[in-house]
Amino acid sequence: MTEVAFHFNATEKIHYACRLLRKAMNASAKVVVMGPQDMLTALDAALWTFSNTAFVPHCMADAPSQVLRNSPVVLLTTETLPADLPHHHVLLNLGHTLVPGYETFEKVIEVVTLDDQDKVQARARWKHYADRGYPLVRHDLSQKAAA
């Protein structure tokens, strides 16, 4: 069954996603990132510049199939998952709604900021997953920042 992890209290989604994707890549995880076009455009740019010593290989979902197969991170803006995705290891949701087809992934990560509207939408997603019996893991990022 898909494990669902909520990362609450992120100060900013793009920077946090970069750090998370670097960590996933170092662990040899393959990640599909879904979110609005403007956010993924910003993430694409940030992945090229956020660290002087680490590069996270990535591509957009419309890249040629060979590039998709070899990229540990695929950025996807559509609201539904294409049938030909090369991997279903981790789904990172940067959007505000459930991703149809999330259950085909081993793990789903939901990133939630301090924004009140983002929290309200995240609670609805949490309830959806909980009502269906998915194992939920909660990571409070404000506690990590204080440590």
User: Is 144 inside a domain boundary?
Assistant: no
User: Is 64 inside a domain boundary?
Assistant: yes
Q: Report the first-to-last Cα separation within the chain, whole angstroms.
A: 32
Of residues 125, 140, 118, 117, the one with CA closest to residue 4: 125
Task: Using the predicted structure, report yes or no on whether residue 79 has a pLDDT greater than 80.
Answer: no
User: Is 68 inside a domain boundary?
Assistant: yes
User: Is 128 inside a domain boundary?
Assistant: yes
Report how far apart, in Å, the C-alpha atoms of 114 and of each of 9, 31, 36, 111, 141 are: 5, 24, 18, 10, 10
User: What is the reported pTM?
Assistant: 0.94
Is the backbone of residue 48 left (phi > 0), alpha (psi -120 to 50) or beta? Answer: alpha
Of residues 60, 56, 111, the one with CA closest to residue 85: 60
- For residue 85, the domain's CATH number is 3.40.50.10110
Which residue range forms the structural domain that includes residue 106?
3-139
Which of 46-60, 94-108, 120-134 comes out lowest in average pLDDT? 46-60
Higher-confidence residue of 8 and 144: namely 8
- 74 near 61, Cβ under 8 Å? yes
Q: Structurally, how many domains does the chain consist of?
A: 1
User: Is 135 inside a domain boundary?
Assistant: yes
Residue 55 has what pLDDT? 85
Task: Using the predicted structure, report yes or no on whether residue 103 has a pLDDT greater than 80.
Answer: yes
Residue 132 has what pLDDT? 97
Q: What is the mean pLDDT of the chain?
A: 93
Residue 84 has what pLDDT? 79
